[in-house]
Amino acid sequence: MARIALDLAHAYRPNPRRDEDYALLPLKMSFEDGGAYALLGPSGCGKTTLLNIVSGLVTPSQGAVSYDGRDVTKLSPQQRNIAQVFQFPVIYDTMTVAENLAFPLKNRGVPADRIRQRVGKIAEMLELSGQLDLRAAGLAADAKQKISLGRGLVREDVSAVLFDEPLTVIDPHLKWQLRRKLKQIHHELKLTLIYVTHDQVEALTFAQEVVVMTRGRAVQVGSASELYERPRHTFVGNFIGSPGMNFMPARWNGSGIEVAGYALQIASEAAVLAAAGEFTLGVRPEYVSLAGADDPTALPAEVVQRQDVGTYWLLTARCGDVLLRARLDPDSAVPGIGAQVWLKVTGAHTCYYGRNDELIASAGPATEGRP
Amino acid sequence: MKPVNQKAWLLVLPVVLCVAFSAILPLMTVVNYSVQDIISPERRVFVGTEWFKAVMRDDDLQGALLRQLGFSLSVLLVEIPLGIALALAMPAKGWKSSAVLVLVAISLLIPWNVVGTIWQIYGRTDIGLMGATLAALGIEYSYTGNATQAWLTVLLMDVWHWTPLVALLCFAGLRAIPQAYYQAASIDGASKFAVFRYIQLPKLRGVLMIAVLLRFMDSFMIYTEPFVLTGGGPGNATTFLSQYLTQKAVGQFDLGPAAAFSLIYFLIILLLCFILYNWMQRVGTADKTEATHG
């Protein structure tokens, strides 16, 4: 159990000069004791590097890692007392399931009856009790991955348990089950869990706090609703949500904003936007709605596509050069392809991004998320 | 009735011809000799299983067979652990790895009779490095005079010549183990020995099976090196099966007994390889059958 603080950067090659040379750009963050965190981002964004730095498999080229204020930068995973579960199941072929689960404890000289007790408990949690005496090598991939998870969770005194996309090899229906299991285990054992994934659903359902990463940078740390309502970076807006946020170039025209040649009225944030001059307007498809022709917060657009996605309609409409997507109620009258519609884009959920793609203003009530 | 396409026979024919000329016909010639007494090129007598009975009763042959089994067993007992140890000690990457690979492979490139000659000189007490060193240390060493020393020298020569093969096979096997296994072991707090026992050794099973079979078959047929080094002596201390066979067939021109013995030799190798292979397969698949039936 520990509070993990990071203040570091990492490059795999020596003497990094440009941003591209870094696997991880300088970052500063901390993981609170007992929290459930997810590192979310596309492949190659540096999330596994960050995880391996936390665990001690990789030593950062700059900066330090500390556990409860103690500098552990140079210590091995074993010395840091970390448990880690990898993307592909790692099991000891010649051992039984029970021996596999007992291995981390046995190596640390835990008494035999204590081992039996822990192994029994973990096996029960992961529903492996019936297979304890089987050879691990002959089991299916998901059972093997459960063994890997079990080996990660079997020690109760670990500083943190790290997961590196542990559910990649698992069937979708089992994935959901195992994820719930992990949440439950987090609840019961109160361990610090850090979970790497590129699947936003996995991240948002598992973690209390999600770290969104892209190109070696942690662009936002926040809860699911913070990431959803106030993406601090256009990348977050685009990556989180399905489909992602709509973005349109906009500028200040003296009394309101102008998008694709149309003047729009805004309710607040006028001062910031006037100062910025040119910026990007972002609005989630969920908050784009049909409006009347005289609505001063709506844009005229031509419907180019409409999809029935079961629980909602996904409407794609063209306004000038940009495509706007809107999620519409399945019960509402959905306009046909080619129809001229007015879509409301400015409102309480609209965000504005500056030239470096970072959030400069949002119309909604200020619920400040952590950067 | 559906016509049967016989064209397939035509496609198999080249292989059948090749195998016939290279393996079946020579083998049949041997079978032919083993049941006849060739008195002169024109005169021959069918003797049935007479030669087989004779060679089975032959004390010299039984001695050579025992010596051979002892030798092959020693070769496996020394070369397999030594090869694994070497592979574990070899650097895994970088120029050092390439350099070591080349160095290790050198002995494999030397022809058999040259190996015999090298060791013949190496072991001489007047000009050979090993022989002279031993002599200087006050050890009475002579691979031509002392039976035990001759046997040990042949073993040492084979270990020198062929352990690199085992090492290279194991090295390749070790490189094929994903890094995640080592990372997981490090996180699980495994000792170096535990990593070897529970990760490396189980993952090397496949290549070790190949190494054991190759080294067994090869050492069981050893001929050239002891022939060059000791000529089978002193006495018959280093007369292994193939050398005994050559003495019979070429030296004494006893074609009948030699042919009968060749067949027995062939069957022994076949049988032992079959047993070894099945045993090693069983060791590996035991995990799986246990899991599915358990």
Q: What is the pLDDT of residues A178-203, one digit of tens each?
A: 888 888 888 887 888 898 988 888 88
Using 50, 70 and 90 to split pLDDT, how confident is the model at B291?
very low
Note whether A202 and A281 are same-domain residues.
no
Most confident of A10-24, A167-181, A232-246, B159-173: B159-173
B187 in A contact zone (CB under 8 Å): yes
- Under 8 Å between Cβ of A42 and A239: yes
Asked if residue B287 has pLDDT above 60, the reply is no
Domain membership flag for residue A235 = no
Rounded CA separation A169/A141 (Å): 7
What pLDDT is stored for residue A285 in this prediction? 87
Residues of A near B (CB-CB distance < 8 A)?
Answer: 55, 57, 76-78, 82-84, 86-88, 90, 92-95, 103-104, 107-108, 133-135, 137-139, 148, 151
Domain count for chain A:
2
Rounded CA separation A129/A354 (Å): 55
Residue B89 Cα, gap to closest chain A Cα (Å): 22
What pLDDT is stored for residue A171 in this prediction? 79
Nearest chain A residue (CA) to B284 = A94
Domain membership flag for residue A56 = yes
Residue A56 Cα, gap to closest chain B Cα (Å): 9
Q: What is the pLDDT of residues A70-97, one digit of tens each?
A: 888 888 888 888 888 888 888 898 888 9
Among B40-49, B108-117, B258-267, the range scoring the smallest mean pLDDT is B40-49
Note whether A167 and A295 are same-domain residues.
no
Mean pLDDT of B124-129: 86
Residues of B in contact with A108 (CB under 8 A): 189
Q: What is the pLDDT of residues B21-80, one digit of tens each?
A: 998 898 888 888 888 887 777 888 888 888 888 888 888 888 888 889 999 999 999 999
Number of C-beta neighbours around residue B12 at 10 A: 9
Note whether A196 and A345 are same-domain residues.
no
Three-state SS sequence of chain B: CCCCCCHHHHHHHHHHHHHHHHHHHHHHHHHHHHCEEECCCCCEEECCCHHHHHHHHCHHHHHHHHHHHHHHHHHHHHHHHHHHHHHHHCCCCCHHHHHHHHHHHHHHHCCHHHHHHHHHHHCCCCCCHHHHHHHHCCCCCCCCCCHHHHHHHHHHHHHHHHHHHHHHHHHHHHHCCCHHHHHHHHHCCCCHHHHHHHHHHHHCHHHHHHHHHHHHHHHHCCCHHHHHHCCCCCCCCCCCHHHHHHHHHHHCCCHHHHHHHHHHHHHHHHHHHHHHHHHHHHHHHHHHHHHHHC
Q: Give me the percent of chain B exceeding a pLDDT of 90.
A: 27
Q: What angle do CA A142, A144, A145 make, to 5 degrees?
A: 65
Mean pLDDT of A14-25: 80
- Under 8 Å between Cβ of A61 and A10: yes
Q: What is the pLDDT of residues A220-229, one digit of tens each?
A: 888 888 888 8
Parallel/antiparallel/unpaired status of strands A4-10 and A62-67: antiparallel
Do residue B291 and residue A139 have CB atoms under 8 angstroms apart? yes
Do residue B183 and residue A82 have CB atoms under 8 angstroms apart? no
Give the end of a domain, one of A195, A229, A263.
Answer: A229
Rounded CA separation B209/B87 (Å): 16
Rounded CA separation B113/B109 (Å): 12
Asked if residue A216 has pLDDT above 90, the reply is no
Rounded CA separation B243/B73 (Å): 18
What pLDDT is stored for residue B70 in this prediction? 92
Note whether A324 and A194 are same-domain residues.
no
B188 in A contact zone (CB under 8 Å): yes
Cβ contacts from A onto B, under 8 A? 70
B202 in A contact zone (CB under 8 Å): yes
What pLDDT is stored for residue B293 in this prediction? 41
| Cα–Cα nearest to B71, from B167, B150, B139, B131 | B150
Note whether A249 and A196 are same-domain residues.
no
Q: Give me the percent of chain A exceeding a pLDDT of 90.
A: 2
Q: Give me the percent of chain A exceeding a pLDDT of 70.
A: 97
Rounded CA separation A50/A233 (Å): 20
Domain with A29, as residue range(s), is 4-229
Residue B283 Cα, gap to closest chain A Cα (Å): 11
- CB interface of B with A, residues 21-60, below 8 Å: none
Q: What is the pLDDT of residues B149-164, one digit of tens each?
A: 888 899 999 999 999 9
ipTM score of the complex?
0.74
Domain membership flag for residue A367 = no
Note whether A212 and A252 are same-domain residues.
no
Mean pLDDT of A131-160: 86
Do residue A135 and residue B287 have CB atoms under 8 angstroms apart? yes
| Cα–Cα nearest to A347, from A237, A239, A229, A260 | A229
What pLDDT is stored for residue B1 in this prediction? 65
Give the end of a domain, one of A205, A229, A253.
Answer: A229
Residue A52 Cα, gap to closest chain B Cα (Å): 10
Asked if residue B200 has pLDDT above 80, the reply is yes
Q: What is the pTM of this model?
A: 0.75
Nearest chain A residue (CA) to B193 = A107
Q: What is the pLDDT of residues B86-108, one digit of tens each?
A: 999 998 888 999 999 999 999 89
Asked if residue A1 has pLDDT above 70, the reply is no
Rounded CA separation A240/A233 (Å): 11
Q: Where are the domains of chain B?
A: 51-283
**Which token pair is A84?**
């880690």
CATH number at residue A289: 2.40.50.100
Note whether A223 and A259 are same-domain residues.
no
Give the end of a domain, one of A229, A256, A272.
Answer: A229
Note whether A61 and A174 are same-domain residues.
yes
Note whether A40 and A168 are same-domain residues.
yes
Mean pLDDT of A105-122: 89
Rounded CA separation A65/A57 (Å): 12
Could you say which architecture CATH assigns to the domain B51-283? Orthogonal Bundle (1.10)
Note whether A222 and A127 are same-domain residues.
yes
Asked if residue B294 has pLDDT above 50, the reply is no
Note whether A168 and A60 are same-domain residues.
yes
